[in-house]
Structure 1
Amino acid sequence: MSSNNYDELYVKLLDKAYTIITPKIQRRQEIPKLIIQIQPKKSLIQNFRDVAQRLNRDPTHIARFFLKELALPGNIEGNALVLYAE
């Protein structure tokens, strides 16, 4: 086979593969902006549980990640994540 025939065969097979694969229409999720309140000895992410819910993740797992990455003590109080730092 010549290279032109290979190209035509490749295009046909590629078109066939694209027709077999159904395109998945996905919506992009808009993550709400973090509402952060900075106080003298602590910072609060006020809508923390809402963000975790939108990400479909357990808030305690996300909180642990934040606390380890930032190397700060903190906890979840109600809907907010409280980070203790000076």
Structure 2
Amino acid sequence: MIDIFLSPKRYIQKPGALADVRAYLPDVGRHPMVLSDALVHALIAPHFDRSRFPSGFSPHFVRFGVECSLTEIARLVKIAADEHVDFI
């Protein structure tokens, strides 16, 4: 069996990183899918206020389901296609 791990080119983790989110995301794309549970959504949503980003930057918030399954993945793929997201 072969394990494959894919990751982004950039991974940013530091205290206060979300306060600087506008400095990183517009270079990646304009229409992100922000995937989280209800608790994380409440914590991060204020950092994605559209007034803090350039015109045309529009995050789409999606609540993650109960568990990772093929059904949940299919749901997220459909949302990403329907909303024309360019990164997650």
TM-score relative to the length of structure 2? 0.26
Structure with the higher strand share, 1 or 2: 1
Larger radius of gyration: 1
TM-score relative to the length of structure 1? 0.27
